[in-house]
């Protein structure tokens, strides 16, 4: 056999070998000098090869995507990011960054890891949660994601995530070809929310004069005192959220109760949606087949809790509640008093209220908002699992306001740069 014939036969043998391997579900990596590395079943877990090497995802396996974050002061922007990430795959795994990592990279978190875990686990688009995730995607952690968690893609928003040394936190994922980007939700960030609370503290300490419009009204209509009357120097951008009907539909379950469903109703402000809210909603949902949540208007909340409340406006609060897996439907702008008509209209079987709330003196006050359901024998007070209210969150900010002020000033600079250089990104 001549050299040419030998080469031809070798080529045919090599082709048959490749075909046999591919049919058997084995990926073959050809290196320098045609060396062969057989990965076998490792292919389904991710590459054991240099970064950037293409891999084949095993067919008939769900696409698993990973997204991480601090999820501090969790809000509808976080929830929308998780919704978008989930849409890029079949299963969403979420890494929640540890308290220690947040302190090193951003400053002290407002909510500790255990509360942040409750919040992330409650988001209806999340399938699995990893606690104590690193702030940056290291090669070791990325290998763990691919090998142990079967992650196909790592997801992040279009806003940059820069480490203290100035490097991109997702550089390795991008280099590996396993990175996908989603669109950042406009109009809110944890920095904004902390800034709103710092602004409240400042306003209360400077003046309670009535000639200033309430902060609640400014938050609702997107006006910032920084530019209008020399207020807050923190760079806070007060709510710029532009609610759309499509966003509400995206967050909604889109399903009503069945005719024989036991409908449980709970109402409140649900301002700065937190772990205490999640836990009382979980217990309320267990008492029936369908949980209906009434969200009070900004004006109602302000009238009962002071001019500086709510921190989040009605639509922001409604989306946060809608994103919770325990909630089936919300009434956007629910009445303060629960009338017989409301109970009949929504076919409510049980009205509940938690033991931990901003105001638990309702039964002693004139004009008890629960007077009708109490008289009908369909009212129940539930033991709240966590001793947390919106005021608890605000007190955390106030008690350490200097540290949060410094954190916000640093973050505000990077957010300003992002908005100045922002370009349109497809997605929702």
Q: Does residue 325 sit in the same domain as residue 215?
A: no
- Residue showing tokens 């702008």: 333
**Element counts in the chain: helices (H) and strands (E):** 17, 12
Q: Does residue 332 sit in the same domain as residue 294?
A: yes
What tokens were used for 112? 């500790």
Residue 383: predicted pLDDT: 96
Residue 278: predicted pLDDT: 98
What tokens were used for 266? 């709970």
Residue 44 lies inside a defined structural domain of this protein: no
- Residue showing tokens 């209210």: 389
Residue 201 lies inside a defined structural domain of this protein: yes
Q: Is 73 left (phi over 0), alpha (psi -120 to 50) or beta?
A: left
What tokens were used for 54? 């293409």
Q: Does residue 312 sit in the same domain as residue 342?
A: yes
d(C-alpha 59, C-alpha 67), whole Å: 22
Residue 227: predicted pLDDT: 34
pLDDT, block means (10 residues), the chain with 428 residues: 50 49 40 35 39 58 95 93 96 97 88 97 98 92 96 88 77 91 78 76 49 41 38 43 85 93 98 97 98 97 88 94 98 97 98 89 76 97 96 86 64 58 64
Q: Does residue 215 sit in the same domain as residue 322?
A: no
Give the number of other Cβ atoms within 10 Å of residue 100's Cβ: 12
For residue 312, give its domain range. Answer: 247-388
Instruction: Say how many domains are in the chain.
Output: 4
Q: Does residue 102 sit in the same domain as residue 207?
A: no
Q: Does residue 313 sit in the same domain as residue 255?
A: yes
Residue 104 lies inside a defined structural domain of this protein: yes
Q: Does residue 372 sit in the same domain as residue 399?
A: no
d(C-alpha 365, C-alpha 26), whole Å: 72
Residue 415 lies inside a defined structural domain of this protein: yes
Q: Does residue 256 sit in the same domain as residue 378?
A: yes
Residue 407 lies inside a defined structural domain of this protein: yes
Q: Does residue 347 sit in the same domain as residue 383?
A: yes
CATH value at residue 260 = 3.40.50.620
d(C-alpha 274, C-alpha 109), whole Å: 14
Backbone angles phi, psi at 10, to 5 degrees: -60, -40
pTM for the model = 0.76
Residues 415, 418, 422, 427, Cα dihedral to 10°: -70
Pair 311, 272: CB distance under 8 Å: yes
Q: Does residue 277 sit in the same domain as residue 375?
A: yes
Residue 425 lies inside a defined structural domain of this protein: no
């Amino acid at each position: 056999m001549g050299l040419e014939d030998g080469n031809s036969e070798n080529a045919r043998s090599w082709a048959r070998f490749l075909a046999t391997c591919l049919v058997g579900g084995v990926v073959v990596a050809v290196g320098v000098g045609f060396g062969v590395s057989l990965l076998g079943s490792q292919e389904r877990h991710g590459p054991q090869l240099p970064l950037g090497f293409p891999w084949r995802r095993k067919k008939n396996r769900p696409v698993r995507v990973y997204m991480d974050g601090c999820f501090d002061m969790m809000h509808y922007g976080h929830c929308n990011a998780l919704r978008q990430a989930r849409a890029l795959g079949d299963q969403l795994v979420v890494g929640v960054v540890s308290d220690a990592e947040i302190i090193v990279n951003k400053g002290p978190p407002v909510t500790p890891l255990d509360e942040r875990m409750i919040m992330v686990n409650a988001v209806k688009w999340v399938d699995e949660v990893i606690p104590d995730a690193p702030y940056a995607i290291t090669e070791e952690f990325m290998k763990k994601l691919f090998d142990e968690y079967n992650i196909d893609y790592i997801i992040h928003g279009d806003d940059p995530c820069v480490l203290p040394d100035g490097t991109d936190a997702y550089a390795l994922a991008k280099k590996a070809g396993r990175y996908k980007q989603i669109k950042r939700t406009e109009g809110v960030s944890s920095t904004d929310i902390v800034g709103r609370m710092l602004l409240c503290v400042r306003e209360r300490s400077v003046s309670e004069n009535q000639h200033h419009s309430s902060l609640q009204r400014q938050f609702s209509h997107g006006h910032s005192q920084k530019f209008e009357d020399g207020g807050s120097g923190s760079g806070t951008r007060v709510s710029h959220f532009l609610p759309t009907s499509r966003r509400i539909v995206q967050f909604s379950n889109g399903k009503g109760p069945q005719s024989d469903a036991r409908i449980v109703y709970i109402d409140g402000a649900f301002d700065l949606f937190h772990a205490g809210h999640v836990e009382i909603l979980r217990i309320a949902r267990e008492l029936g087949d369908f949980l209906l949540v009434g969200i009070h208007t900004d004006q109602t909340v302000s009238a009962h809790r002071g001019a500086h409340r709510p921190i989040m406006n009605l639509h922001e609060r409604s989306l946060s509640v809608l994103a919770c897996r325990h909630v089936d439907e919300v009434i956007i702008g629910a009445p303060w008093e629960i009338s017989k008509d409301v109970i009949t209209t929504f076919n409510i079987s049980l009205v509940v209220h938690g033991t931990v709330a901003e105001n638990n003196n309702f039964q002693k006050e004139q004009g008890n908002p629960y007077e009708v359901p109490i008289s009908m024998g369909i009212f129940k007070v539930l033991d709240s699992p966590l001793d947390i209210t919106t005021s608890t969150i605000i007190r955390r900010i106030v008690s350490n306001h200097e540290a949060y002020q410094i954190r916000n000033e640093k973050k505000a600079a990077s957010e300003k740069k992002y908005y100045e250089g922002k370009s349109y990104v497809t997605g929702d």
